[in-house]
């Protein structure tokens, strides 16, 4: 017979999920910024397949409307420009009034700019930081306050290989994504006692309009990216979508503060 002091209670037997429920997002409400196209849309699609209810945001109503039509009856949209920081508290409030508590936030909206560093103006630099970093923090703060009060929630940032190593001509973008990586660790520490997890996904080179724009005029860059990717191919937006489903689900309940590369091995390629 073991002696237990009153503070040493035996570990409770954990409730065991079946694999369907562990990976399910059934009934969860997910907010995805920039969800009308590219990676954000595929995250929305995969999360819909996993049973979630989806709110996508973006600036173009026609794109959002079309996306929601494709996603089906569990998807809704709100027109919102994430760089309008003073709108974000109101956005979260309106979403929760109409649809209930946001369980999962996916900070996906982002912009890129390819220019040699010496040609990047302060205005250029600020524009990228405003979308990719300042807006992510402001929206995360608005959602996290409510998640913390409810003692439940998960936040996912979309980082980039540009935060991992020195890709030339993306100085502002790399600074913004490196900022996200730091934010993930701090927020994961601060929010863990409140049962709110914070993680990032770092996509490798994924076939979207953003990547096509960055690569189409620059075949050398495209070949370099492919050559250092052990799997020898670019990723699909749904590869990011399924990783997001996993990180958002209970299957990942002990994972917080990480940045998960989804990159065909790009970050470890030689
Ligand atoms: P995309 O350009 O197809 O999609 C970006 C989405 O963000 C669009 O729906 C756009 O309308 C939205 N957005 C941009 N500015 C916004 C604003 N001010 N307010 C609201 N929405 C706004 O690009 P993609 O590739 O789907 O990018 C999604 C995320 O993935 C970005 O954060 C990007 O940095 C990241 N990423 C993409 C990679 C790739 O290879 N495609 C690699 C690494 C990261």
What pLDDT shows up at residue 10? Answer: 58
| pLDDT tens figures, 145-167 | 999 999 999 999 999 999 999 99
Secondary structure element (H or E) that encloses residue 53, with its range: strand 53-58
Give the distance from CA 239 to its chain's centroid: 13
Domain extent at residue 93: 24-204+238-268
CA distance 84 to 135: 8
For ligand 1, the distance from its centroid to the CA atom of residue 229, given in whole angstroms, is 22
pLDDT over 70 percentage in the chain: 94
The response to whether residue 108 sits with its C-beta less than 6 Å from ligand 1 reads: yes
Q: Is residue 184 part of a domain?
A: yes
Mean pLDDT of the region 14-43? 91
Q: Is residue 232 part of a domain?
A: no
The one catalytic residue among 49, 164, 165, 173:
173
Give how many domains the chain has, as a whole number: 1
pLDDT over 90 percentage in the chain: 87
Q: Is residue 5 part of a domain?
A: no
Alpha carbon separation from 223 to 68, 212, 261 (Å, rounded) = 35, 13, 20
| pLDDT tens figures, 83-131 | 999 999 999 999 999 999 999 999 999 999 999 999 999 999 999 999 9
Count other Cβ atoms within 10 Å, centred on residue 96. 16
Going by their DSSP bridges, the two strands 259-262 and 75-79 should be labelled as: unpaired
112 vs 3, more confident:
112
Q: Is residue 77 part of a domain?
A: yes
DSSP letter for each residue of 86-106: GGHHHHHHHHHHHH----EEE
What pLDDT shows up at residue 13? Answer: 53
CATH, residue 52? 3.40.50.720
Active site residue 173: yes
Alpha carbon separation from 187 to 90, 92, 130, 256 (Å, rounded) = 22, 19, 19, 9
For ligand 1, the distance from its centroid to the CA atom of residue 113, given in whole angstroms, is 12
Instruction: Reduce the DSSP state of residue 111 to 3 states and report it.
Output: coil
| pLDDT tens figures, 215-246 | 888 899 899 999 999 999 999 999 999 999 99
4 vs 72, more confident:
72
Q: Is residue 6 part of a domain?
A: no
| pLDDT tens figures, 55-65 | 999 999 999 99
For ligand 1, the distance from its centroid to the CA atom of residue 108, given in whole angstroms, is 6
Which two structure tokens, joined as six digits, stand for 177? 């994504």
Residue whose C-alpha is closest to residue 90's, from 11, 210, 81:
81
Q: Is residue 10 part of a domain?
A: no
Q: Is residue 14 part of a domain?
A: no
Any idea which residue has 């109101």 for tokens? 90
Q: Is residue 141 part of a domain?
A: yes
């Amino acid at each position: 017979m073991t002696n237990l002091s009153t503070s040493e209670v035996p570990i409770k037997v954990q409730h065991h999920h079946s694999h369907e429920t562990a990976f399910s997002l059934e009934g969860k409400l997910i907010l995805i910024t920039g969800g009308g196209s590219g990676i954000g849309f595929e995250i929305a699609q995969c999360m819909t397949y996993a049973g979630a209810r989806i709110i996508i945001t973006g600036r173009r109503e026609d794109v959002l409307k079309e996306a929601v039509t494709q996603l089906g009856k569990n998807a809704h949209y709100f027109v919102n420009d994430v760089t309008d920081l003073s709108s974000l508290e109101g956005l979260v409030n309106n979403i929760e009034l109409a649809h209930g508590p946001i369980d999962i936030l996916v900070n996906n909206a982002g912009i890129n700019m390819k220019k040699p560093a010496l040609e990047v103006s302060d205005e250029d630099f600020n524009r990228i930081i405003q979308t990719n970093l300042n807006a992510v923090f402001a929206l995360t703060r608005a959602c996290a306050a409510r998640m913390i009060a409810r003692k439940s929630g998960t936040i996912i940032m979309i980082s980039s290989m540009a935060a991992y190593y020195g890709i030339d001509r993306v100085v502002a973008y790399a600074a913004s994504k490196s900022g996200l990586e730091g934010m993930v660790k701090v927020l994961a520490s601060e929010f863990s006692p409140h049962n709110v997890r914070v993680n990032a996904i770092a996509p490798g080179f994924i076939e979207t309009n953003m990547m096509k724009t960055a690569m189409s005029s620059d075949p050398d860059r495209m070949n370099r990216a492919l050559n250092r990717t052990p799997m020898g191919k670019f990723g699909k937006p749904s590869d990011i979508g399924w990783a997001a489903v996993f990180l958002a689900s209970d299957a990942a309940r002990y994972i917080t503060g990480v940045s998960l590369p989804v990159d065909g091995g790009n970050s470890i390629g030689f």
